[in-house]
Structure 1
């Protein structure tokens, strides 16, 4: 990687609690993600992957180590410019949209916060980009399916024209058929807009669909990094990685 990576974590440590009750959730995690790359963090529940993502997103300011964007260290308390260029898609499309706000208002809010022009045109463009269209402007979340709600959540991120999307299990609350639609949408958007993705998931098949490279986490540590081709082929060196891959293969439905 000749140019500075878009995102870099160096010696990231995150703990919760105090004294004897302290829990080390992330231990000395380091990785680099290039521009336009899709990078996956995978592992079981409690492995620390979502905790890493929350620190990257600015939702958790309490960490040790360094997080860099384009080679510059990010302050623990992020500024407004950071939140325009780095957006997060959450796991639950039911919980991430305000139930009493129309889609139009949900999408206008970030534009108002960041003072962007042509608000209504941007709303229409964002809805079109995620495959919904302007007619969805005047619907409430309860009038949308789970997949449509997640498309609105993605549109809310895209409307600020970010360069980085942080994806926290973005399809795990959706039906399998809808999961594929959302993953294909995210893959297309990344290609069209040269977006950089960091995706967290416990589902190896989901990560393999979208990412080119993955880091496997166990008990707060990154135990192995490997290309997704090696992930698919089951070529892993660390014992935990091999166990995780074997468990994933055993859970796949028979063809």
Structure 2
């Protein structure tokens, strides 16, 4: 069975690119392939002009980090925050682990005191900030965002999205984001690919997405079905 067919797109340095569509359309399959978690695929994935092998080098794993959908599931329940973060530094053979932990906790809007907490002692938003910190601590160039706010309360979603936008500006990061929420993608992404049945139907800019300026009938129907969500955009940071 083929999950994704003839998909091709490019993410520029510093750009946020979105993949959006109904569940099962293939967007998460693409994200996992880029992350190196899905090895059963044909075609090429290039990073900085170089084709990525099936077995990724430490340099590539450091440059391309993933933030998962459910922060509680992605954090080890029996490990303190400082252990989770220091493991990433150790695996990438980086220096100054304690200083890096303090710096990255401040960068995600927490503080050094959070290093001594366990996941069950944190709110959903705080857990996702730790998950983002774990990705950031190895100084990546690209983040793969798998529905980064869908497991959070609506009141917290805007905070996380604004944090991600700020981090992209400050660190020159590139984002590849998967979502089914048009409002989230319109707020976060410079360009968005609309997917259906494993294919990309069309690509639109953020302005085109907000205006509903699209070509495909399916895209118009998808936007119309999500119309109430399009207007619900997070407040500016």
TM-score, normalized by the shorter chain, greater than 0.5: yes
Aligned counterpart, 1:205: 183
Q: Return the offset for 1:252.
A: 6.4
- Local SS of the residue matching 2:3: strand
Q: Return the offset for 1:74.
A: 0.8
Return the match for 1:110 from 55, 78, 88.
Answer: 88
Cα distance change on mapping 1:35 and 1:252 into 2, 3 Å: closer
Q: TM-score, normalised by structure 2?
A: 0.96
Structure 1 stretches lacking a partner, 5+ long: 1-22
How far apart are the structure 1 equivalents of 2:204 and 2:229? 21
Aligned counterpart, 1:6: none
Cα distance change on mapping 1:253 and 1:231 into 2, 3 Å: closer
How far apart are the structure 2 equivalents of 1:94 and 1:192? 27
Cα distance change on mapping 1:226 and 1:88 into 2, 3 Å: same
Aligned counterpart, 1:171: 149
Query: Is the Cα–Cα contact under 8 Å of residues 18 and 193 in structure 2 kept in the other structure?
Result: yes
Query: Is the Cα–Cα contact under 8 Å of residues 62 and 76 in structure 1 kept in the other structure?
Result: no
Aligned counterpart, 1:225: 203
Dislocated runs of 4+, deviation >3 Å: 250-254
Query: Is the Cα–Cα contact under 8 Å of residues 183 and 229 in structure 2 kept in the other structure?
Result: no
Alignment of 1:225-244 (within 5 A): 225-244=203-222
How far apart are the structure 2 equivalents of 1:159 and 1:250? 37
Q: TM-score, normalised by structure 1?
A: 0.89
Alignment of 1:8-47 (within 5 A): 23-47=1-25
Cα distance change on mapping 1:170 and 1:49 into 2, 3 Å: same
Structure 2 stretches lacking a partner, 5+ long: 233-237
* More strand per residue: 1
Q: State whether structure 2 residue 51 is matched by structure 1 residue 73.
A: yes
